[in-house]
Amino acid sequence: MTGRAGAAALDAADPLAPFRERFVLGDEPRLYLDGNSLGRLPLATRARLAAAVGEWGERLVTGWHEWIELPRRVGDRLARGVLGAGEGEVLVADSTTVDLYKLCGALVAMRDGALLVPRDEFPTDRYVLQALAEQHGRELRLLDADPVDGPGVDDVEAALAGGDVALLVLSHVNYRSGALADLPAITALARRRGVPVLWDLCHSAGVVPVDLRAHGVELAVGCTYKYLNAGPGAPAFLYVARELQPRLRSPIAGWFAQRDQFAMGHPHVPADGVDRFLAGTPPILLLAAVDESAALVAEAGVEAAREKSIALTELVVELHDAWLEPLGFTLGTPRDPARRGSHVSLRHPDAWRICRALIERADVVPDFRAPDSIRLGVPPLYTRFVDVWDALDRLRALVSAGEHELVRRDSSRVT
């Protein structure tokens, strides 16, 4: 079994180890294992944000000559360095929820049929589809699947067999279980059935290679504040395969989506290309943050990040089996490393109090997801093997001593 010295040896041999110094580590010695919810602040992003603020102050409105290109330019950077998409296929603007609404709304307007989404999907995806189903008089179909492994190819095949599906929305990595869906196989299957799939990449972008074009993905969205480290509420990205763009119209037809924006004409005529999925004025300062943070991930390389991420989650699983299973934990994440993302879910009937006790008494920050999961995220650019070892060691000690039973039960569950 891996001892602390073994974990330290893994760190010593880690080619990504130097990237840790590129982040603000101001919360140390706290062990931060919630980068799957909110990534750390890169030093370069802090500097870039200050520069962007300064540019606003100095250039004022003339800054728009360059800023107006930012949603597409930052999108191109993500496309190239992170998503395996082509130029002019990715935009950065609005939130994941709004981007989901724009793309799903566009799809529903041009295709009949039910809207299909896993029952265990992240809430905002289900809610957006529920509202669209109500607006368009469609059925919302919830796909059931194993709570740990998530929907497999067979589940999707069975759900599509009935026909009459307008759109399938699916997370690449499930927010709770960390299960990694088989994106290539499910995309290929759905294409054979003629059903568009929108992939939610929130929990995979930057840490799992996606290669959207290689796999024939047509639609995707994702956030930038988890493994892309662009800050709380940084704008999301959307991807629309070039071939599909001319056929889709965003339901939110704002002036930034207008073909000749500054003619201020009437009626609305969607811009050519991916710009038609813009809406209102994009958040320039935060686009600078996404640009800088995404460059750091691209510099490290998503393939290298994936390799280390697997090694880190393997260590979590190993220590869980050795130390935590005897304490009543079960693994809420697939055992096959090829079938999980970069966080591990540990299930326990008293998960909420254990999570609070970890934060308050053991200086370890994971997060809780209802009803019974503690998520441990291990973003490979700044998480060390010894961090994982120490965190699991503290978790074991805390639960063994029953310290979580001292936590008052209440309803606060923000993190």
**If we measure between CA atoms, which residue out of 325, 367, 326 comes closest to residue 343?**
367
Residue that has been written with the tokens 């029952």 in this structure? 119
Q: Catalytic residue at 369?
A: no
* Token couple for 311: 């090694």
What residues numbered 252-271 form the site for a copy of itself, per CB under 8 A? 252-258, 261-268
Q: Which stretch binds a copy of itself (CB under 8 A): 88-96, 327-335, 339-347, 399-407?
A: 88-96
At its nearest, how many Å lie between a copy of itself and the CB of residue 97?
Answer: 3
Angle at 92 between CA 33 and CA 279, to 5 degrees: 130
137 binds a copy of itself (CB under 8 A): no
Contacts of 66 (CB under 8 A, 6+ apart): none
38 binds a copy of itself (CB under 8 A): yes
287 binds a copy of itself (CB under 8 A): yes
* Token couple for 77: 């950077």
CB nearer to a copy of itself: give 21 or 58: 58
At its nearest, how many Å lie between a copy of itself and the CB of residue 213?
Answer: 26
Q: What is the rounded distance in angstroms from the CA atom of residue 71 to the CA atom of residue 299?
A: 20
**Dihedral pair phi/psi, residue 20, rounded to 5°:** -55, -35
Q: Which stretch binds a copy of itself (CB under 8 A): 7-15, 53-61, 146-154, 184-192?
A: 53-61
At its nearest, how many Å lie between a copy of itself and the CB of residue 12?
Answer: 26
Contacts of 174 (CB under 8 A, 6+ apart): 118, 120, 121, 122, 150, 181, 203, 341
At its nearest, how many Å lie between a copy of itself and the CB of residue 289?
Answer: 8
Residue that has been written with the tokens 């931060």 in this structure? 32
Q: Catalytic residue at 32?
A: no
Three-class SS state of 51: helix
Q: What is the rounded distance in angstroms from the CA atom of residue 327 to the CA atom of residue 160?
A: 41
What residues numbered 96-115 form the site for a copy of itself, per CB under 8 A? 96-98, 101, 109
Residue 314 CA: distances (Å) to CA of 150, 258, 273, 309: 19, 49, 42, 8
Identified catalytic residue from 23, 175, 225, 237: 225
Strands (E) in 172-247, as ranges, are 197-200, 219-222, 237-240
**Of 85, 107, 128, 207, the one binding a copy of itself by CB under 8 A:** 128
At its nearest, how many Å lie between a copy of itself and the CB of residue 252?
Answer: 5
29 binds a copy of itself (CB under 8 A): no
124 binds a copy of itself (CB under 8 A): yes
Identified catalytic residue from 72, 226, 306, 369: 226
357 binds a copy of itself (CB under 8 A): no
At its nearest, how many Å lie between a copy of itself and the CB of residue 136?
Answer: 9
Cis previous bond, 251, omega within 30: no
Q: What is the rounded distance in angstroms from the CA atom of residue 312 to the CA atom of residue 333?
A: 14
At its nearest, how many Å lie between a copy of itself and the CB of residue 110?
Answer: 12
Question: What's CA 248's distance to the chain center, in Å?
Answer: 24
Q: What is the rounded distance in angstroms from the CA atom of residue 392 to the CA atom of residue 213?
A: 38
CB nearer to a copy of itself: give 43 or 153: 43
Identified catalytic residue from 19, 23, 122, 382: 122
Q: Which stretch binds a copy of itself (CB under 8 A): 117-125, 190-198, 316-324, 395-403?
A: 117-125
**Of 160, 201, 286, 395, the one binding a copy of itself by CB under 8 A:** 286
What residues numbered 290-349 form the site for a copy of itself, per CB under 8 A? none
Catalytic residue positions, numbered? 122, 200, 225-226, 375
